[in-house]
Amino acid sequence: MQKRPEKNVDSDVAKGFGDEWTTFRQEEGNLSRRERTAIFDSYFHIFPWQQLSHDSVGLDAGCGSGRWSMLVAPRVGHLHLLDASPAALAVARDNMRALDNVTFHEGSVGDIPLPDASLDFAFSLGVLHHVPDTEGAVRAIAAKLKPGAPFLLYLYYAFDNRPSWYRRLWSVTDGLRVILSRQPHALRLVVSGIIAALVYWPMARAAALAAMVRWRTAGMPLAYYSDKSFYVMRTDAYDRFCTKLEKRFTRSEIERMMRDAGLEQIRFSDIAPYWCAVGMATGLRS
């Protein structure tokens, strides 16, 4: 593992994710291969796997527990995993101990220890909305890509495809996040677990029942979790309510950031989670 000076990282957020991934380690005993693959496919179904060769080299920027890299690494030649949290990297290393084509780097997206234009692909899922300069982070990752290389990006969306009442409901829950994210880990874990049990689980089950009778569920809060395990709900409730720094972006804002970073042929996923997008590097940046 190589360690570099930290840039474009909030140290409290990095520590919080270390707490999260050492608690929710995403190992197969808790997250089944079937569920991991299903969630993985919801992110990667727009990724152009056909463009990669068997010896492709890529980057997981903000790898956390390595839960997605576990499925990417066997498909490629070499995978670099980058995270600002040493605790998270320790979990990723343990989860991927059977793989010999991975390298772990402790550092931030502001200081990626790889040459520019050296990578065949990159992905960053659910990370860059938690760094101080999201736009700069997108540029930094794109700079490491060879021309034509794909970059898969997932950023929290600003509910721009949701009605106004949905956005108002979110603003209430965000107030809870601001308060809870500043509490000790033990309290964050207990309260987020209660939220998962009393909010996520019943609303997800309601959406599942609605789907069974062919009611429209697309607009129902937390319908995304209708087929997810309680472990995933607990993980995501902690992630959602226990992170101090969170930003949200509209689809047009994400597209602009990607274009400014020198990405083209940008394509957005039309299924949850939103917004997930892929773009191809040009080597040119505005």
**Cβ contact 103:114 at 8 Å:** no
- 206-258: pLDDT as tens digits: 999 998 888 877 778 899 999 999 999 999 999 999 999 999 999 999 999 99
Q: Residue for token digits 């690494």? A: 73
pLDDT at 5: 43
Strands lying side by side in the sheet with 2-3:
2-3, 102-106, 78-83, 57-61, 121-125, 150-154, 276-281, 263-268
Helix (H, G, I), strand (E, B) or coil at 112: coil
Q: Which residue has the tokens 């970073």?
A: 261
| 169-195 pLDDT tens trace | 899 999 999 999 999 999 999 999 999
Domain 2-158+248-281 class in CATH: alpha beta
Which pair of structure tokens corresponds to residue 104? 């772990």
Judge contact between 124 and 155, C-beta under 8 A.
no
Rounded to an integer, what distance in angstroms lies between the CA atom of residue 282 and that of residue 238?
37
**Can you say how many angstroms the Cα of residue 176 is from the centroid of all Cα atoms in its chain?**
21
Rounded mean pLDDT of the chain? 94
Please list, in sequence order, all residues whose beta carbon lies within 8 angstroms of the beta carbon of residue 93, skipping any fewer than 6 positions away.
1, 66, 104
**Number of C-alpha atoms within 13 angstroms, CB side, residue 165?**
3
Per the model's pLDDT, the better-predicted residue between 2 and 42 turns out to be 42
Q: Please identify which residue in the block is written with the tokens 């402790």.
A: 106
